[in-house]
Amino acid sequence: MSTTSEGPARSEAEMMIAEAKKALWVMVGLLAVMWVIQLVNAPTDYDLSREFGIVTRDPASLPEIFTAPFLHYGWDHIEANSGPLFVFGFLAAYRGVKKWLGVSVLIIVASGLGIWFISPTSAVTVGASGLVFGYFGYIIVRGLFDRHPIDIVIGLVMALCFAYQFVSLLPTEEGVSWQGHMFGFVGGIVGGWLFRDKRPKAVAAPDATTTLLPKNLT
């Protein structure tokens, strides 16, 4: 009996470890891509950032919603984003990279559209901070939507440890895209709901007093 009961638990733990390893390498790869782009971008005085950044309310700039998160405007910019992106991104991905991809796309679109609509006129915005805040919002609410006790604890710990980040959701510093932060954060919360674990609906047991009538086939 003990072997049978421990089997599923061990299998689930092994699957989680496998996904965590995959999430780790995915985040290492993502950061590597960003840093390689930075190495190319910096010597050109950030021409790539100006060309592929989001230009506010310019219809031709809408595709840049998907390129802007991978670009930065300086070494301090990418350094400030890299640590939180790795930590929050890993925590967002460790339960499943496929789900993480869907959440990431939603966050990128939400953050990018927020920047495109309400950033200052003619601003060119780049940076991964929209993703950072999106993952932050996602891991805070994921446990509540999925009903996983471990994720509830992780979300609570992250919210308490990084409570100072909530200030960045407001327009407190000139030149910093609070729009991307706020809309990315909201996108992460929406992602927690849309990509929550679907639980099978309970099926009511048949009433013992019900009489089953023969079927008539035509």
Distances in Å between the Cα of 203 and the Cα atoms of 206, 210, 211 are 9, 16, 19
Please state the φ and ψ torsions of residue 124, each to the nearest 5 degrees: -115, 110
Nearest to 91 by CA among 32, 177, 176, 159: 159
Q: Cα 149 vs. chain centroid, distance in angstroms?
A: 20
Spatial neighbors of 110 by CB under 8 A, at least 6 apart, are 130, 134, 183, 184, 186, 187, 190
Q: Which three-class secondary structure state does DSSP give residue 55?
A: strand
Only one residue has tokens 């009489």, namely 211
**Region 15-195: CATH code:** 1.20.1540.10
pLDDT of residue 60: 95
pLDDT of residue 202: 53
Asked if 123 and 116 touch (Cβ cutoff 8 Å), the reply is: no
Work out the burial of residue 141: count CB atoms within 10 Å of its CB; fewer than 13 is exposed, 13-18 middle, 19 or more buried.
buried
Q: Does residue 5 surpass a pLDDT of 90?
A: no
Instruction: Report the chain's mean pLDDT, rounded to a whole number.
Output: 88
pLDDT of residue 199: 66
Ordered DSSP codes for 73-120 = SSHHHHHHHHHHHHHHHHHHHTT-HHHHHHHHHHHHHHHHHHHHHHSP
pLDDT of residue 184: 97
Q: Which three-class secondary structure state does DSSP give residue 209?
A: coil
Spatial neighbors of 33 by CB under 8 A, at least 6 apart, are 70
Q: Which three-class secondary structure state does DSSP give residue 65?
A: helix
Confidence of residue 105 (pLDDT cuts 50, 70, 90): very high
pLDDT of residue 72: 97
Q: What value does the mean pLDDT take over residues 180-189?
A: 97
Q: What is the pLDDT of residues 113-171, one digit of tens each?
A: 999 999 988 889 999 999 999 999 999 999 999 998 999 999 999 999 999 889 889 88
pLDDT of residue 16: 82
Please state the φ and ψ torsions of residue 180, each to the nearest 5 degrees: -65, -40
Q: Does residue 110 surpass a pLDDT of 80?
A: yes
Ranking 42-46, 83-87, 195-199 by mean pLDDT, the lowest is: 195-199
Q: How far apart are CA 71 and CA 77, in angstroms?
A: 10
Only one residue has tokens 């405007």, namely 73
Asked if 37 and 70 touch (Cβ cutoff 8 Å), the reply is: yes
Q: How far apart are CA 131 and CA 179, in angstroms?
A: 12
